[in-house]
Amino acid sequence: MAGMTARKNQSLVGHPWLVLATVMLGTLLIGLDRTVVNLAVPKIIGDFGISVNTAAWIATAYIISNAVFVPVFGKLGDLFGNRQIYVWSFTGFIVVSVLTGLSWNFTSLVFFRTLQGLVGAAIYPTAMSLIAKSFTDTKARAQALGIWSSSFAVSAIIGPLLGGYLIDQFSWRMIFYINLPIGIAGLVMTLLYLPHDHPEERGAFDWFGSVLLAGAITAMVLVLDQGQVWGWFSTASVLCYFSTVVFGYLTYVWETRHTHPVIDFRLFKNPTISSVLVVSFISFGGMMGAMFLLPVFTQSFLGYDAIKTGLLFVPMGLTLPIFAPLGARLAVTFHPRYTVSFGMAVAALSFYLLRTLDPAMTYGDFVLPLVLFGAGLGLGMAPLTNAATTAVPIHEVGMSSGILNLTRNIGGAFGIALFGTILTNATNANVLSVALNSHIRSTSPSILAQGAQLIIMKADLLAYSTVFEWAAGAMLVGAFAALFLQSSGSIADLPPEARAEAMAGG
């Protein structure tokens, strides 16, 4: 009996759908962590007696370390095995989460958040690589990546709801402690179901290249995150620009001469990879830049608390898991360029509808735009992810996944910086315009003060409209760029006879 049980458990190791379920739980855990921390910032400010600008380093430290180590872990997975990297990073994330909850001052909190970003950086590229290697059939792989993409939507729903409750009822520290039970469950699944992969590529890891790459990414992400506070042409910002260029050039020189580079620049000559990266950068820039500001609007103008703001995104979160597998399936049957382009056009429409943001809006007014956004995101993102994994040899999937995630992170940071600056500049410009066209028929100081506040509010509302118009335009540019997307591995790329045979077999 014991022998039969052991053989049964052995047969489950590496089962594609169990591998998918395992890495989805890990992705969900990382997604939860990223979505709930911002809700805790006001409480952390009160506990540690810090300013809002200082508190921004809670997010900045995580973003920088995560961006730096995503490509590093992608390469490490290719060299030493994705299971090994995934297990150690997952274990590290659980331990560091508990330490973050135990932070005794703000410095220790930022330090542990930096470590969280570091160990969490391995989850996405190794998860994508494990899925790609577990699902050898192109159609099944595309479907699995589509389903995996839905874990982002689930974290977007659960994160604010669970995080808001834990913060209000207990403490901000609970949002880190909750990672312990979820993480243990995920670690058990990891040990039981993830296969012991045998990397095809062996070699010494490029530590010096990693340091050079880290310098370039750190400087770039830092100025994108802090540039608006410092001033885009301040001394600190200019130093970051200079460092990005210098370290970027040195990285290119070193990596093109190394036998096992962290980033193989020959990948950028692959038309599929280069087109996927361009489209991903544009789409994530538009998406993150606009959606980052939507909660700010609802809490500032509609008076929503953290939990109600989280509920606002439920329609998007329910739509994405439906359309992500559908987008993956359609992209296998038809050429991915059409699915991605259509999905981004739908997302552009959702932003265009949101350009009419108004303090009189109700919860129901957000449903259609966010449903459309979830549908567009689902249709577009899964085919892009699948294209990036099928365009390279299996031993380079980790590197390809790491570069894709790095591009998305930088695109998102660029979008947030760009649209935040657009919002500020548009508000300042609108104040003068609105004031010139406003007439206050009173000399009462209180009424004049109220009038000034209304002018600023109107200027701010018009600025939000400008932001979402720009976001819609950015997504349309991405939709157009997607029409030139190259791909490999879809049924649409096969000759007519092979296509018919694959369709019949599927």
Note the pLDDT of residue 328: 73
Cα 27–126–101 angle (5° rounding)?
Answer: 45
- Identify the weakest region by mean pLDDT among 21-35, 52-66, 191-205, 481-495: 481-495
Q: Are 384 and 275 in contact (CB under 8 A)?
A: no
DSSP labels, 3-20: HHHHHHHHHHTT-HHHHH
Q: How confident is the model at residue 439 (pLDDT cuts 50, 70, 90)?
A: low
Examine the pLDDT at 373 and tell me if it is beyond 80.
yes
Q: Are 410 and 277 in contact (CB under 8 A)?
A: no
The tally of CA atoms less than 13 A away on the side-chain side of residue 409 is: 28
Average pLDDT over residues 438-460: 60
In one-letter notation, the amino acid at residue 237 is S
The residue whose two tokens read 């380093």 is: 57
In one-letter notation, the amino acid at residue 372 is L
Give the pLDDT confidence of 78-105 residue by residue, as tens digits.
Answer: 777 778 888 888 888 899 999 998 988 8
Paired tokens of 12: 């489950």
Q: Are 121 and 85 in contact (CB under 8 A)?
A: no
What is the percentage of the chain residues whose pLDDT exceeds 90? 4
Cα torsion for 16, 19, 24, 29, to the nearest 10°?
180
Examine the pLDDT at 4 and tell me if it is beyond 50.
no
Element (H, E) at 170: none
The tally of CA atoms less than 13 A away on the side-chain side of residue 131 is: 31
Q: Are 350 and 377 in contact (CB under 8 A)?
A: no
Note the pLDDT of residue 238: 92
